[in-house]
Amino acid sequence: MFGLDKKDTTLLLIVFVLTMCAPFLLNPFPGNSAMAQFNAGYPDLMQRFVIYGIFAIGFNILFGLTGYLSFGHAAFLGVGSYSAVWMFKLLSMNVLPAVILSVIIAGLFALVIGFISLRRSGIYFSILTLAFAQMSFALAYSVLTPITNGETGLQLSLNDPRILGESVSASGGIPFPSLFGLDMRATHVMELGPWMFQFSAGYYFCAVLMLLAFYLAIRIFRSPFGLMLRAVKSNQQRMNYTGLNVRPYTLAAFVISGMYAGLAGGLLAAMDPLAGAERMQWTASGEVVLMTILGGAGTLIGPVLGAGFIKYFENIFSKINDTVLHQWFAFMPDGIEDLLVTVIHPFVGKGWHLTLGLMFMAVVIFLPGGLVQGGQKIGNLFRRKPAADHTTSAAKTPAE
Amino acid sequence: MGILEVKDVNKRFGGLQALGNVNLSVADNTVHAIIGPNGAGKSTLLNCLVGKLIPDTGSVMFAGQSVLGLKPYQINQMGISRVFQTPEIFGDLTVMENMMIPCLAKRDGPFRMHAIRSVFGEKKLRERAEEMLTEVKMLDKRDMHAASMSRGDKRRLEMAMCLVQEPRLLLLDEPTAGMARHDTNNTIDLLKDIKARGNITMCIIEHDMHVVFSLADRITVLAQGTPLVEDTPEKIKGHPKVREAYLGETA
Ligand SMILES: Nc1ncnc2c1ncn2[C@@H]1O[C@H](COP(=O)(O)OP(=O)(O)OP(=O)(O)O)[C@@H](O)[C@H]1O
Ligand SMILES: [Mg+2]
């Protein structure tokens, strides 16, 4: 189906069902229970899952296939956000042109940065991309203030022209992003006893784009072009002596992954129309590297899993504080309750980075193929069958 | 004039004269062997032909065109393929994927963005790749991880990858090193077969004299970067200088 083989079609359908049912799946605990803390089915959080999923899918096309580790992909995310906000300011509040411009501008940006950075490989390539991203970050704060609005960040105002839309909404405020009139904030709430499920237009818009992005990634992985990208990672010498020019292949992969990042950046702005330079900071570039490796570099579904994992930790684990812990262990005798809270305390709340860090180390050491490899191992335990390599062989030899 | 003309090529590495005034003319549709002791400069000479090294002086002409200054991929697209002394294959990919890459390179040129169609939809190329794998008796290994194969199999795969491109000039750097006797004989048969079909010139570097004398039309003996003699296999066998410089050593 859709030009994919059976395995890939199944994978696509699974991802389709999971994203479409996410409002249910991510809210498994009744609202009045102590476990409600772990629910993640809120529109803004779900939006972040799929948006960072897009970011990681694109990053994986570069890193997972060619092995070129970019440390500056957040620059494209930031450029995408700025482009989208400018589109909201100048043209209209429609998200579609905004997102399209984000992709184009990020692609052009990636073309320039890639053209220069790809003159080197390995660590020098990584450093060059990092340098470019940090430069963009610094410039966004300083000389580019007319475009980026410096430290305040780029925001909408009542004075924006919006030539195809309205500067001021009917209610006198700044209008909100919409898709041909469908407000991105529109949310349908469904209450089922103690459960509350929220279906947001913004989330579904992002989810559909993620599915498209995912589908395109599968096609690229399976195409002759994708094969060449894997050849780049495997043996550039052999490629050269087989009559293939390596540079345009890596540049194309770089631009495509930059466009994915631009799309993600545009969507971030479409869900919340402001853009700040901190989106380009190196920590944001590092995050997408973590997502991809955690999930499984070079696999199809890995980056999406990794993105979901990290965003879940960032938003859920970080909210567990001592009061919550005390509530959970209230049924225990006081001494044990305090002890448990003290032991768990460093791992939750502000300490969520510690948990994530330990998990990341465990994955890299024990599961070099990321969570996907973990899933395969568990699957094989049940099937008692030699490892069926679900995606690409790259899963076995990830980060270089 | 031969299809490959090497004139007065010199190459120095620091103080070491790796190639000194090398002249070589390879006639079209022949097999030309280059023999010589370790460190004689045989691989260095091939490196100068495929764009890996640029000679300090001299000229290298292929089919009437200079290859000096061209990139390796451009030289390959002119019709020169090379099997390396240590196998250069795509270790992370399967045997079949390894074969598809030269097929695609031959059809699509140095760069083409075929990002939507599936590799497995390329029926013609796959058939061509399978044919070639059958010829090197590796079809049963088509789904194997290339890196996990024996050295001999890697070499045969690399040879198949070069042959599937139907090069006009095939450069083989010790194609049977690391192969079992049986596989060596298969390789000799394969190369004889390829040669009989015509329209291919081969330059073969080899230490195994059985292979050299089975295949070569002409032999150049290289010692310390300079050609000692060039002649037919029969003459080379009896040549006193050769016995002293080379055959004597290995006997
Ligand atoms: N890139 C290089 N830099 C420096 N010296 C080199 C380089 N390549 C080859 N040499 C030297 O040049 C000489 C010729 O090497 P070459 O590899 O051409 O020999 P060969 O005839 O292929 O030997 P073998 O039979 O061992 O493969 C050797 O002394 C080698 O050490
Ligand atoms: Mg050699």
Domains in chain A (CATH in brackets) are 6-319 (1.10.3470), 320-400 (no CATH)
Both tokens of A210, joined, read 């993620």
pLDDT of residue A2: 77
Judged by average pLDDT, the poorest of A116-120, A153-157, A222-226, A258-262 is A153-157
pLDDT of residue A384: 65
* Mean pLDDT of the residues in chain B: 92
pLDDT of residue B245: 62
Residue A391 in this model has a pLDDT that exceeds 70: no
Percent pLDDT > 90 in chain B is: 78
A238 contact B CB<8A = yes
Nearest Cβ partner of B90 from A3, A235, A246? A235
CA distance A254 to A229: 11
pLDDT of residue B251: 41
Residue nearest to atom 1 of ligand 1 (CA): B13
The dihedral formed by the CA atoms of B172, B177, B182 and B186, expressed in degrees to the nearest 10: -10
The dihedral formed by the CA atoms of A237, A240, A246 and A247, expressed in degrees to the nearest 10: 100
Both tokens of B247, joined, read 């055959």
pLDDT of residue A389: 47
B107 contact A CB<8A = no
Residue nearest to atom 22 of ligand 1 (CA): B43
CA distance A193 to B107: 63
**Nearest residue in chain A measured CA to CA from B92:** A234
Nearest Cβ partner of A224 from B72, B102, B119? B119
pLDDT of residue A393: 41
pLDDT, tens digit, 9 for 90 and up, residues A174-188: 999 999 988 899 999
Q: How far is the first Cα of chain A from the last one, in angstroms, to the nearest whole number?
A: 34
The answer to whether A238 contacts B90, with C-beta atoms less than 8 Å apart, is yes
Residue A394 in this model has a pLDDT that exceeds 80: no
A238 versus B115: which is more confidently predicted? A238
A235 contact B CB<8A = yes
- Minimal C-alpha gap between A116 and chain B (Å): 19
Both tokens of A339, joined, read 């002890």
Disruptive mutation site among A4, A215, A244 for chain B (greatest number of B CBs within 10 Å) = A244
Decide: helix, strand or coil at residue B132.
Answer: helix
Ligand 1 pocket check for B43: Cβ under 6 Å:
yes
CA distance B195 to A281: 60
A242 contact B CB<8A = yes
Decide: helix, strand or coil at residue B145.
Answer: strand
pLDDT, tens digit, 9 for 90 and up, residues B168-199: 999 999 999 878 898 899 999 999 999 998 89
pLDDT of residue A395: 40
Write down the residue that tokens 């345009």 correspond to: A248
The answer to whether A231 contacts B71, with C-beta atoms less than 8 Å apart, is no
Decide: helix, strand or coil at residue B231.
Answer: strand
Closest-CA residue to A55 (of A306, A395, A359) = A306
pLDDT of residue B117: 85
B196 contact A CB<8A = no
Ligand nearest to the CA of B18: 1
**Chain B partners of A3 at a C-beta cutoff of 8 Å?**
116, 118
Q: How confident is the model at residue A355 (pLDDT cuts 50, 70, 90)?
A: confident
pLDDT, tens digit, 9 for 90 and up, residues B51-96: 999 999 999 999 999 999 999 999 999 999 999 999 999 999 999 9
pLDDT of residue B248: 53
What would the mean pLDDT of A210-218 be, rounded to a whole number? 97
Residues recorded for chain A:
400
- Please give the distance, rounded to the nearest whole angstrom, from the Cα atom of residue B45 to the centre of ligand 1: 9
CA distance A236 to A281: 31
Residue A124 in this model has a pLDDT that exceeds 90: yes
pLDDT of residue A253: 98
CA distance A102 to A262: 5
pTM over 0.90: yes
Distances (CA, A) of A45 to A36, A84, A312, B73, B100: 15, 20, 8, 48, 43
Write down the residue that tokens 């690399």 correspond to: B158
pLDDT of residue A1: 67
Residue A172 in this model has a pLDDT that exceeds 80: yes
Ligand 1 pocket check for B38: Cβ under 6 Å:
yes
Residue nearest to atom 29 of ligand 1 (CA): B39
What would the mean pLDDT of B139-153 be, rounded to a whole number? 93
Ligand 1 pocket check for B54: Cβ under 6 Å:
no
pLDDT of residue A313: 87
The answer to whether B101 contacts A5, with C-beta atoms less than 8 Å apart, is no
Residue B15, exposed/middle/buried by CB under 10 A (0-12, 13-18, 19+)? exposed
DSSP 8-state code for residue A30: -
pLDDT, tens digit, 9 for 90 and up, residues A105-120: 999 999 999 999 999 9
- Other CB atoms within a 10 A radius of the CB of residue A240 amount to 22
Write down the residue that tokens 């031969």 correspond to: B2
Residue A31 in this model has a pLDDT that exceeds 50: yes
CA distance A166 to A178: 12
Percent pLDDT > 70 in chain A is: 96
What would the mean pLDDT of A233-251 be, rounded to a whole number? 97
Residue nearest to atom 5 of ligand 1 (CA): B13
* Mean pLDDT of the residues in chain A: 90
